[in-house]
Amino acid sequence: MHKYHSYEYELKKILIHMGITPNYRGYDYIVLAIELVFENPARLQHVTKELYPEVAKQYHTDWRAVEHSIRIAILRSWERDQTRFERLLGMWKKEKPSAGKFLATLYAYMLIEFEEEVI
């Protein structure tokens, strides 16, 4: 088992600093998605076929609802302050990231931040 649970607090802190707060359904979906990616990083290669459906299963919803909620959380944060993405994750000066790209970057950021081996 990966050390995800020791990072969960830091992940939630990052999300809140980005303006993605627990009042968005996407917040919980992002937290679970990152946990699942820590368990199996290959899930990032199959976001819509594997990652979103697994999150949806655990929340008893449809994978499209998961993707939509994550996208909306990212969009609201982006609309409020685009510089948060650059400050915290070091990218996206001009264009809002896709949900999959956001999850991949967030995962990589956490690996680098906590000095894990990047896959």
* Distance, CA of 97 to CA of 78 (rounded, Å): 9
pLDDT of res. 50: 96
With respect to residue 118, please indicate whether it lies within any of the assigned structural domains.
no
Tell me the C-alpha to C-alpha distance, in Å, between residue 99 and each of 5, 31, 70, 102.
Answer: 22, 13, 6, 5
With respect to residue 119, please indicate whether it lies within any of the assigned structural domains.
no
pLDDT of res. 6: 72
**Confidence band, pLDDT 50/70/90 cuts, at residue 1:** very low
What domain count does the chain have? 1
With respect to residue 100, please indicate whether it lies within any of the assigned structural domains.
yes
Boundaries of domain holding 87: 4-113
pLDDT tens figures, 61-98: 999 999 999 999 999 988 888 887 777 766 656 778 88
pLDDT tens figures, 18-34: 899 999 999 999 999 99
The model's pTM: 0.88
Question: What's the mean pLDDT when you consider all of the chain?
Answer: 87
* Distance, CA of 48 to CA of 66 (rounded, Å): 10
Print the SS3 string covering the chain.
CCCHHHHHHHHHHHHHHCCCCCCCHHHHHHHHHHHHHHHCHHHHHHHHHHHHHHHHHHHCCCHHHHHHHHHHHHHHHHHHCCHHHHHHHCCCCCCCCCHHHHHHHHHHHHHHHCCCCCC
Give me 91's structure tokens: 């990218």
pLDDT of res. 91: 65
CATH number where 15 lies: 1.10.10.10
